[in-house]
Amino acid sequence: MSGVNLNRRLVLESPEAVADGAGGYSQSWQALGALWAQIVPRSGRQVNGETGSVSVTGYQITVRGAPVGHSARPKPGQRFIAPGRVFNIEAVTEDKARGLYLVCHCAEEVSP
């Protein structure tokens, strides 16, 4: 993948179940570390959310490759955080067989 410009610092977070003290669990997010990334916007759409319409934009986020099972390797269900932004990871693929870069297909939801 030529021309990759890893110029944005993102924090990779993973969901974690936390006991709520009443016998149940709530979801919180645990930071796994910071990664440098390239963010390329894709198409967007407007959908109906729980509290009204929500704008959902797709992004292709490219990061350096990491071995399978390593904490720095993003996977679906995790998310990237940037100041004021949340990118939910939907799928992750390697750019080529060598796996120098990982391409994360993400979505960002914004209330208009």
**E runs forming strands in 22-84:** 25-49, 52-64, 79-82
Q: How confident is the model at residue 107, as a pLDDT?
A: 96
d(CA 50, CA 65): 36
Please give the pLDDT value at position 52: 81
Cβ neighbours of 89 (radius 10 Å): 21
Which segments of the chain have a pLDDT < 70? 1-2, 97, 112
State residue 24's pLDDT score.
Answer: 86
Q: How far apart are CA 48 and CA 20, in angstroms?
A: 30
The CA-based dihedral angle spanning residues 65, 29, 112, 46, taken in that order and rounded to the nearest 10 degrees: 60
Q: Which fold has domain 8-110?
A: Thrombin, subunit H (2.40.10)
CA distance linking residue 29 with residue 11, whole number of Å: 11
Question: CA–CA separation, 92 vs 103, rounded Å?
Answer: 6
